[in-house]
Amino acid sequence: MSDERPTIDRGQWMVLLAAFLGWLFDGFEMGLFPVIARPALRSLLGGGGEAAVGHWMGIITALFLLGAAAGGAVFGWLGDRLGRVRALSLSILSYSLFTGFGYLAQAPWQLGACRAIAALGMGGEWALGVALVMEAWPERHRGKLASAIGAAANVGYLMVAAVGAAIPVTESSWRWLMLVGAAPALLVAFILTAVPESAKWRAAVAHAPARPVREILAPELRRRTLIGIVLTSVVLIGTWGSVQWIPLWVDKLTGGKMPAAKAIAQSLSSGGAVVGALIAPLLAKKLGRRGAYMAICLASAVVCALLFRALPEVWGPPLAAMVFLTGVTTAAFYGWFPLYLPELFPTRVRATGQGVCYNTGRVLAAAGALAQSALVAEFQGSYARAGATVTLIYLVGAAVVWLAPETRTLQ
């Protein structure tokens, strides 16, 4: 008997490579700011205490998340109207160029503005890349693809950490890293010339243009859209309202006298995140989509409690090991999202549906980032106490997920 499974062709590999690289560089861009934040803000503020740095860290993080949310909606809509490939190229070009413009910032608000505009492209890239891959590849590969896409951004984080560890980022050297962030613009030429458009998308819109926003808010899909927003919000609040602050926290613990420490913390967290992203689809296959999400929420809550509540606030091997475990648990969701969110929406509105869910979550995560900033001030500069409070959100996710549809049997 011959094998009836279709062979994976060159076009499908090009789609996967483009999505992987796009999300990898997206992760690189996202990972830049936690590494440069404290030295950059101290430089732009002319010094300043932790309250001032924490204040601007919260504002800029919130601006980034709001920009990403807007970008997810705009580029997701473009992806459903104009095609995945063209919209993906525009999103990567946007985040690359405006990250590079951050080199010119002379005040915190200018850095925040560049960060917010770059975030438009970062917010759009994820939904477009996931939609393109999941539509191009056979369903039997979905778990492995989710692992690869989930791990890609964290490989980008590792790249930032490696660069920061090799050449410590200080108040006088942070700008050059922003120029490095402009390099992914070169990827656009490859995407436009080598990556085929989604055949499923072409077929879905062949007879009439998609009206994706209207469709995902219509009664047939409204519940799925809302539950997707809630599930992504829980994760993104935990990530951006606390976990992303770990390099800043480590820099404070070392008094800024060990510039490589924050990069090491970033690399440990990112390395753990790669592991978590690879594990998540296996859990989803074993426990179901809802069971896996709950398990990751509970693990994240426990590990974050140990990190922020149980360990002494001293940078050393115990804290470093727990930062790694925090990366494993809290980033496992990013291997779960590429598996679950595409299953919630039909092809013709998939990019918009995923983009709205993921990036509305970013809007709410912006509130989490501002809450973390306020909590740092309330707790007299204690990032640990603030982080311990914000990460209680994972317990909410463990309960809410049971209102979501179980899509594993729908494949």
Cβ burial, residue 361 (10 Å; 0-12/13-18/19+): buried
| 275: phi then psi, degrees, rounded to nearest 5 | -60, -45
pTM value > 0.85? no
Tokens of residue 156, six digits: 């980008």
pLDDT at 3: 44
Range among 126-130, 137-141, 294-298, 340-344 rated most confident: 294-298
Range among 161-165, 206-210, 327-331 rated most confident: 327-331
Checking if the pLDDT of 135 tops 90, the result is no
Q: What is the pLDDT of residues 352-382, one digit of tens each?
A: 787 788 778 877 877 777 777 777 777 777 7
| SS3 annotation, the chain | CCCCCCCCCHHHHHHHHHHHHHHHHHHHHHHHHHHHHHHHHHHHHCCCCHHHHHHHHHHHHHHHHHHHHHHHHHHHHHHHHHCHHHHHHHHHHHHHHHHHHHHHCCCHHHHHHHHHHHHHHHHHHHHHHHHHHHHHCCHHHHHHHHHHHHHHHHHHHHHHHHHHHHCCCCCCCCHHHHHHCCHHHHHHHHHHHHCCCCHHHHHHCCCCCCCHHHHHCCHHHHHHHHHHHHHHHHHHHHHHCCHHHHHHHHHHHCCCCCHHHHHHHHHHHHHHHHHHHHHHHHHHHHHHHHHHHHHHHHHHHHHHHHHHHHCCCCCCHHHHHHHHHHHHHHCCHHHHHHHHHHHHCCHHHHHHHHHHHHHHHHHHHHHHHHHHHHHHHHCCCCHHHHHHHHCCHHHHHHHHHHHCCCCHHHC
Q: Walk me through the domains of the chain, giving residue ranges and CATH numbers.
A: 10-194+211-410 (1.20.1250.20)
pLDDT at 208: 62
